[in-house]
Amino acid sequence: MSDSLTYADSGVDIDKANKLVDRIKDIAKTTPRAGVMGEIGGFGGLFSLNLSNISNPVLVSSTDGVGTKLKIAFMMDKHDTIGIDLVAMCVNDIIVQGAKPLFFLDYLAMGVLNNDVAEKIISGIAKGCTQAGCALIGGETAEMPGMYQNGEYDLSGFSVGIVDNDKIIDGSYIRNNHKLIGLASNGVHSNGFSLVRKVFFDKCKYSVDTKSEELGTTLGEELLKPTFIYVPTIISLIRDLPIHGLVHITGGGIDENIIRVIPESCKAIIHKDAWEVPPVFKLLQKEGGVPDAEMQRTFNNGIGMVMVVPEASAQEVMDRLSAMDKNAYLIGEIETRENNEPQTQWV
């Protein structure tokens, strides 16, 4: 009797992984973009830069995950939208600096490789890439026995974009009387889910199938709504309108993200009644007894992206957004900061 062992005996199936690569190749072909060279399966993804219209190119990169929102996907056994969240978290961070996303790579790790689940995840990533106008050019799928519970996985991504140096949006032109325009979110997006799960599942004992009159759908369906990808909207605006600051509202909410782009000499005045907070946040606050300040610093509360624009251009920006059928709100303004007062103020 032989005591010899194979890699498959340890829980890693190379043949299954190779079959998945073949399936991913077809998915990647749905995200074509000028510059892509070769196809999925090489040691590295190849991308040829066309710099004919850029005088001083700057590459902008971002890497991120979707946090414990993955737990909701596990609970629902629904994996076709979480990839959109992954792309959104990366490309939204790139576009706020004025950079157009070029390409995207993903990392997917499973305890036991499930090709059907993996294909759904990666199909979602491809859909997100299509929405963002970038190409899926590579990634890594790792089978890691013993690292993850049955049916669970981890997911992260990496994106690269490009912007001309003199078109970088860095907040340096923001001045007193600039207006703040908020773009609506699609719900919770991909931040704060540890508190979300603590309130709804631990405290309230709800399940993903719990139907809520306030939400008009099941809790799980509401929480799995994919993060909005703002790239096409922002690209359309910055082409010919003065956008002096862009803020992706992620962990930290408006308070802790807007101070990343406004000068220290300025403060942001936020009008808390300028938009209707979506029902999921109201339900979360009510059921969890979450204080206003904690809601503001943890969640987007219905605003997923904030634009800082000159007062003279604010109405034109709003009109353009309306023409694109985007929900947008004038949510505040920039004022001069006095005596080291806080950089955000809610009124």
Query: Average pLDDT in the 336-347 region?
Result: 91
pLDDT in the model for residue 330: 98
List beta partners, residue 139.
Answer: 106
Mean pLDDT computed over 107-136: 95
Is the pLDDT at 9 greater than 70, yes or no?
no
For residue 233, what pLDDT is reported? 97
Give the model confidence (pLDDT) of 119-129 as tens digits: 999 999 999 99
Q: Does the structure show a pLDDT above 90 at 13? A: no
Output the pLDDT for position 321: 97
Q: What is the pLDDT of residue 2?
A: 60
Q: Do domains 8-167 and 179-346 have the same CATH topology?
A: no
Domains of the chain by residue range: 8-167, 179-346
DSSP 190-208: TS-HHHHHIIIIIIS---T
What pLDDT does 328 receive?
A: 97
The whole-number average pLDDT for the span 168-188 is 96
Which CATH number describes the domain made up of 179-346? 3.90.650.10
| Interval 18-22 mean pLDDT | 78
pLDDT at 43: 85
Cα gap 123→78, rounded to integer Å:
12
Q: State the pLDDT at residue 235.
A: 97
Instruction: Please say if the pLDDT value at position 266 is more than 90.
Output: yes
Q: What is the mean pLDDT of the chain?
A: 93
Model confidence at 75, pLDDT cuts 50, 70, 90, reads very high
Rounded mean pLDDT of 233-259? 95
The reported pLDDT for the residue numbered 40 is: 80
CA Rg value for the chain: 22
219 confidence band (pLDDT: 50, 70, 90)? very high
Q: pLDDT at position 52, please?
A: 87
Helix (H) or strand (E) holding 25: helix 14-28
pLDDT at position 35: 87
Residue 286 CB contacts under 8 Å (≥ 6 apart), including other chains: none
With a pLDDT cut of 90, the percent of the chain lying above it is 80
Higher pLDDT, 302 or 18: 302
Half-sphere exposure of 312 (CA within 13 A, CB side): 3
Q: Is the pLDDT of residue 1 over 60?
A: no
- How does residue 196 score in pLDDT terms, banded at 50, 70 and 90? very high
Q: Is the model more confident about 13 or about 72? A: 72
Q: Give the pTM.
A: 0.93
pLDDT of residue 38: 82
Q: Exposure of 74 by Cβ count < 10 A (0-12 exposed, 13-18 middle, 19+ buried)? A: middle
| 93 three-class SS | helix
Classify domain 8-167 by CATH number.
3.30.1330.10
State the Cα–Cα distance between residues 336 and 87, nearest whole angstrom.
36
